Amino acid sequence: MDEADLIARYFAPLAGPGGLGLRDDAALVAPPAGAEIVLTADALVAGVHFFAGDPPEAIAAKALAVNLSDLAAKAADPLGFLLTIALPGDWTPQWLEVFAKGLGDLARESRCPLLGGDTVATPGPLTLSITALGSVPAGRMIRRAGAKPGDRLYVSGTIGDAALGLALRRAELEGAPAPPWVDALDAAQKAHLVRRYLVPEPRLALTPALRACASAAMDVSDGLAGDLSALLRASGVGARVDLREAPLSPAAAAALRADPGLFEILFSSGDDYEILCAAAPEQAVRFEALAGGAVTAIGEVGPASAGAVFLGPDGDKLNFARDRYSHF
C-alpha cells in the first residue's frame, strides 16, 4: 500500500477533530479559554530505547506515554499529539495493525488524540517521534525552576522497576546471563518488572494536585538522582534526600534484598517515568491528600551551598559513580 492508504487504514481512525481526518497538511487546535499551550517531544529508536522484538502495542504505548509523562509533570491536560514514524523495510500490515491498536488504546484512555504527523520509510531501525500538546491555565505550568529551601521533595509511584525489567528483557531477547537476583523473584514479580519497562504509566491523575500545590516538578526519565540534581540546579537550591525512603515495589525490594549492590542502580537508571516534585511545607498535607497516596516524601530542599546530599542504605552520604542515564 502507498502512504495515503497506510495513513487512512491505520492512523486516521485514531485522529481527533483537530486532526481533520488526517487529510490536510496540518492540524487545527483551539486551546481552552484562558489557557496556555505546553509542548513536548520525544524520539525513540529501536535498539536504543526499546528492543525491536518488543510487542508492537507496547512500543506504541511507550512512545506516547513518555510524552504524556512530560505533560503530567508540567500539570498540563493533554490536547493531542503528532506522530512521525520511520518504518524499516521489514514492516508488515499485521505488525502495524497491532501498533496502531496499542497507540489508539492509550490515546483514548488519556484523552490525547492523534492530530497528524508523517510516515516515511527508512533503511535504518524503526524510529518514532511524538510531539504532544497540552493546556494549562495561564501562568500555572509547573517548571523545574521553582523549588525553594524548606520545600518537601516527593516522588510518585515506585522507583527502579524499569531498570530491573530491562535486565530481564535483555536476558530474554539477547541471551545475556540472567542477573543473580532473579532467583529471589516469583513469576508475578518478574512480569511486573518487565511490564514497567515495556509500558510506562504516565501520572496524569496527579495533575490537579501538582497544579494546586507544587512549586517545581519534572518527570523521572533518566534516573531519580540525576533528574533531581537537574531540578535543583534549575531552581538554584540544594537538598538532603534519604534514598531509604524512596518507594520501591515489592518486586524491586525483593531484588534489592537478594543483591544489595542494586541500590545505586535503582536510583540512577532511566525509564521510571514517575513525577518528582517539590511543595512548600504548608502545602504538604493538602498535596498528599490530593495525591491520594500516590506520592512519597523523600527529602527536603535546602540552600544551594548545601549541594545535593543523597543518603545511602547505611545512612551515610552516597556518591554516585553515575547518577543518570546519558544519551551521549
Confirm whether residue 221 is marked as ligand binding: yes
For the sheet with 114-121, list strands across it: 35-45, 127-137, 77-87, 114-121
Residue 25 in marked binding region:
yes
Q: Which of 282, 257, 274, 266 is nearest to 324 (CA)?
A: 266
CB count in 10 Å sphere of residue 115: 25
Q: Is 117 annotated as a binding residue?
A: yes
Q: Which of 63, 62, 125 is nearest to 90 (CA)?
A: 125
Q: Which three cell numbers stand for residue 158?
A: 515506585
Which three-class secondary structure state does DSSP give residue 292? coil
Q: 42 labelled as ligand-binding?
A: yes
70 is in an annotated binding site: yes
Taking the CA of residue 196 as centre, how many other CA atoms within 13 Å lie in the half-sphere pointing to its CB? 28
The answer to whether 183 is annotated as binding is no
What per-residue string of b and e applies to 249-275 under the rule 16 or more CB within 10 Å gives b?
bebbebbbebeeebbbbbbbbbbbbbb
Minimal CA–CA distance to 202: which of 140, 294, 137?
A: 294
Q: Which residues pair with 272 in a beta bridge?
A: none
Q: Are 260 and 312 in contact (CB under 8 A)?
A: no
* Cα distances (angstroms) measured from residue 55 to each of 62, 90, 165, 176, 198: 11, 15, 15, 19, 9
Q: Is 271 annotated as a binding residue?
A: yes
Alpha carbons 86 and 129: distance in angstroms, whole number: 9
Q: Coil, helix or strand for 150?
A: coil
Q: What is the DSSP string of 199-237?
A: S----GGGHHHHHHHEEEEEEESS-HHHHHHHHHHHHT-
Residues comprising the binding site? 25, 40, 42, 49, 70, 117-118, 144, 219, 221-222, 271, 325
Residues comprising the binding site for substrate? 49, 271, 325
Residues comprising the binding site for ATP? 117-118, 144, 221
Residues comprising the binding site for Mg(2+)? 25, 40, 42, 70, 118, 219, 222
